[in-house]
Structure formats: C-alpha cells, structure tokens
C-alpha cells in the first residue's frame, strides 16, 4: 500500500461551507462522524490549497488516541468523492494497492491488528502510533475473492448495526418527547398531554411524603460470611445498568442481611454519591450500599410512575451536587426533592405507558448488543492471529 500525505490542519483553519475542500480530522474518526465516508458524510471544510486529495478506497487512520484501544482507528472512503477531501490533523492516509480496500479497513479493526497497535503504540496521556509501525504490520491476506467475501459479510453486518442504532435512537428521542409532554413544567399544574378522563391538578409532594426513604450500607467485607453466591442481591452503583435490576455482582448471606439496609420489591434506588442519579427499580426484596438512597412507595403511589419520574429527580440532583466540593446528595436533600403527582389511577396509566416504551427499548438494545458481539466475534475469527 502507498501512503498519501496527511496535513497538520487544525479546526482553527476551518472555512465556510461554500468551499469545495473537506478534510478528515482524527476526532471525526473517533466519534464515527468519519467512518465509512460517502458524499453524505458531514465533514468540515478547509481552506483550499495544493493538497494531495483522497479518493475512493483510501483509508485514513487516527494516529492519536486517549487510550490504546483507539490507536489507528480506521475510516474508509466508500464512494468517489464529489468534492476534494484531504487527510487532516493526526491522521495517516493509505492507498491500498495490492489488497481490497474494504478488507484492509476491517483488518485494521480486527483483534489481530488491535493487539499489534497496543504493542507498538507509545505515549502516556495521549497514545499514538507511527506510520513506520503501521507499515511494518504483517497480516495474513487471502485471495482477492475471499477478501471481498469477508469484507461483504462485515459490511452488511455494519449496515444492520446502523439500522438498529437508528431505530433505538428514534425510540429514545420519542421517550424524551413524551417525558416532556406527560409531566408538568414548574409553572404548570397539569401536563400538556394527558390520558382521557383525567382532569385533576397534580399536587406538589416531597419524596418523603411519597414513600419511605432509606440509605444503604455495606456489611463488613472483612467477614466473608456476610456474602453468598446465592443470597439476597446487594446493589452498588456499578450494578445499575438498566431501569430494572435483575442481578448484582455481590449477594448477601443470611448473616449479612442482619446488618444490611433492606427494601421490598417495588422500591426505587437512586445513586446519590459520585455517579449521581443512576436509577433503577428492584422487583424483589433487596439490599444496597451507602452510595444509594431508596424510596419505597406508599400505597397511593405507583412504582413504575416513580421510576419514570426519577428522570427529573436526577436532573435536579445533579444541579445540587454540582454546588458542593464533593458530588453528593444527602438523605435530607433527597427526601426534600419536590415533584408533582396525579392520582394513583393516572400514575398507573402513565407508568404502564412508559413501561411499554422501555420494554421496546430493551428489546432493541439487546438486538444491538447481540449484533455487536457477533461483529466482535467475526473480527476475531475471520482474521488469523
């Protein structure tokens, strides 16, 4: 392959959109703005000049990264550019000559090359790789026919990933819109959008009026008998990865439960130290650590409605936490958080509505995760180590 000269062009020399020369910045590669570059890719413009321009099949690598995993992240031009494109700051541009370009693009994404980049990369806070080391990389190259077949499989898998990501993003945006319309603003007594047959004004309540507030703790980790592989789930912030907790890294034995803070199923857990505002619902009796406050709803309040409303609690909690030297919302501040609440029947309607949306989001996320795992497996298995 041949190197195409890159230029140290920074964003400070960007120029208005009426110019015809665009450039690929290493930041655009890392953010995937420039991944598979087509004429529809939104690239910044650059001052025209006597630059070596790129063409279809050229590969551009980001030669700098904040971590070793991002070293030499590739992008590729997948169609003949209608305007001039140049490789900009912190990039290495290559023109494949004896290998199918799309195959080479995926080879740079493979486990084989990732390990090589990790081994040859240099730096402390910012990591990089030299063009010399890129050119020294040796990988197994099959026949052109097989190269095209491998590239085609991965390309179609990428397209499926993009499609599912767009669907997921669309539903997430729809949920955000419904959250804004179905919960009242500060100056409103009722939301903009409402189910039929509900007309009462929503009432202001502190969280302490909505449910029992409790702060978690940690049974002694020095006493191994406090913990058990088959015990009660014990939630820490790192366990909160979804709106409903299904499992935890650690569990409490019967002995550990004696000194733990325990809440019943239907309680909402909210992180209040460091990672502020990560929220989840427990569906069975559970325990949790001191970084988490819990609210166990009184009979007049619906759990899933509160879980949905906790989106707004989190936004306010982050504002409170940002005012102090340490990211923390204490139990008193958490208990005094005020929100507006409708009657129980309307809460249930709203809660069920958002639960159905969240279920759809979960299904799409699982499909996306499954495709990501499949791609990672292919990138490992299709390229010899």
Q: 69-85, pLDDT tens digit by residue?
A: 778 899 999 999 988 89
pLDDT at 11: 57
Q: What is the DSSP letter of 127?
A: E
Q: How, if at all, do strands 279-281 and 268-271 pair?
A: antiparallel
Phi/psi region, residue 72 (left: phi>0; alpha: psi -120 to 50; beta: rest), is left
Q: Which class for 272: exposed (0-12), middle (13-18), buried (19 or more C-beta within 10 A)?
A: buried
Distance CA(41)–CA(258), nearest Å, equals 59
Summarised one tens digit per residue, pLDDT across range 95-154 is: 999 999 999 999 999 999 988 888 887 776 778 888 888 889 988 999 999 999 999 999
Which value, in Å, is the radius of gyration of the alpha carbons in the chain? 27
Q: Taking residues 334-361, what's their average pLDDT?
A: 97
Q: Taking residues 224-250, what's their average pLDDT?
A: 95
pLDDT at 10: 61
Cβ pair 215, 261 in contact under 8 A: yes
Percent of the chain with pLDDT over 70: 95
pLDDT at 227: 96
Q: Is the pLDDT of residue 338 over 90?
A: yes
Q: Domains, the chain, ranges and CATH?
A: 2-141 (3.90.220.20), 149-186+346-385 (1.10.287), 203-341 (3.90.220.20)
Distance CA(328)–CA(15), nearest Å, equals 44
Cβ–Cβ contacts within 10 Å for residue 201, how many?
A: 11
pLDDT at 323: 74
Distance CA(287)–CA(243), nearest Å, equals 16
Least confident of 33-42, 288-297, 341-350: 33-42
Cβ pair 43, 101 in contact under 8 A: no
Q: Taking residues 335-344, what's their average pLDDT?
A: 96
Q: How far apart are the first and last CA of the chain?
A: 21
Using 50, 70 and 90 to split pLDDT, how confident is the model at 20? confident
Token representation of residue 265: 């199923």
Mean pLDDT of the chain: 91
């Amino acid at each position: 392959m041949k190197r195409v000269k890159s230029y140290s062009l920074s964003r400070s020399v960007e120029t208005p959109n009426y110019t015809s020369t665009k450039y690929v910045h290493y930041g655009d590669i890392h953010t995937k703005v420039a991944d598979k570059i087509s004429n529809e890719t939104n690239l910044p413009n650059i001052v025209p000049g006597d630059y070596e321009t790129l063409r279809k099949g050229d590969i551009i690598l980001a030669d700098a990264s904040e971590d070793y995993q991002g070293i030499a992240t590739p992008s590729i031009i997948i169609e003949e550019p209608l305007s001039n494109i140049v490789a900009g700051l912190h990039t290495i541009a290559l023109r494949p000559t004896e290998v199918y370009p799309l195959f080479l693009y995926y080879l740079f994404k493979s486990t084989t090359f990732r390990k090589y980049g990790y081994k040859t990369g240099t730096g402390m806070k910012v990591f990089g790789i030299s063009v010399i080391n890129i050119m020294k990389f040796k990988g197994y190259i099959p026949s052109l026919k097989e190269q095209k077949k491998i590239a085609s499989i991965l390309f179609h898998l990428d397209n499926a990933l993009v499609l599912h990501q767009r669907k997921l993003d669309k539903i997430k945006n729809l949920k955000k819109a419904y959250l804004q319309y179905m919960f009242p603003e500060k100056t409103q007594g009722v939301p903009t959008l409402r189910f039929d047959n509900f007309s009462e004004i929503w009432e202001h309540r502190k969280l302490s009026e909505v449910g029992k507030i409790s702060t978690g703790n940690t049974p002694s980790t020095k006493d191994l008998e406090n913990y058990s592989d088959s015990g009660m789930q014990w939630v820490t912030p790192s366990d909160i990865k979804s709106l409903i907790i299904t499992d935890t890294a650690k569990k409490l034995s019967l002995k550990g439960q004696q000194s733990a803070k325990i809440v019943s199923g239907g309680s909402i857990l909210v992180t209040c130290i460091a990672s502020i505002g990560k929220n989840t619902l427990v569906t069975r009796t559970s325990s949790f650590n001191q970084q988490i406050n819990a609210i166990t709803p009184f009979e007049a309040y619906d759990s899933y409605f509160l879980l949905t409303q906790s989106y707004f609690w989190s936004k306010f909690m982050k504002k409170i936490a940002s005012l102090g030297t340490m990211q923390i919302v204490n139990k008193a501040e958490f208990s005094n958080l005020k929100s507006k609440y409708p009657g129980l029947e309307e809460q249930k309607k709203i809660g069920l509505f958002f639960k159905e949306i969240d279920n759809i989001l979960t299904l799409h996320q699982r499909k996306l995760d499954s495709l990501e795992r499949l791609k990672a497996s292919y990138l490992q298995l299709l390229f010899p180590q």
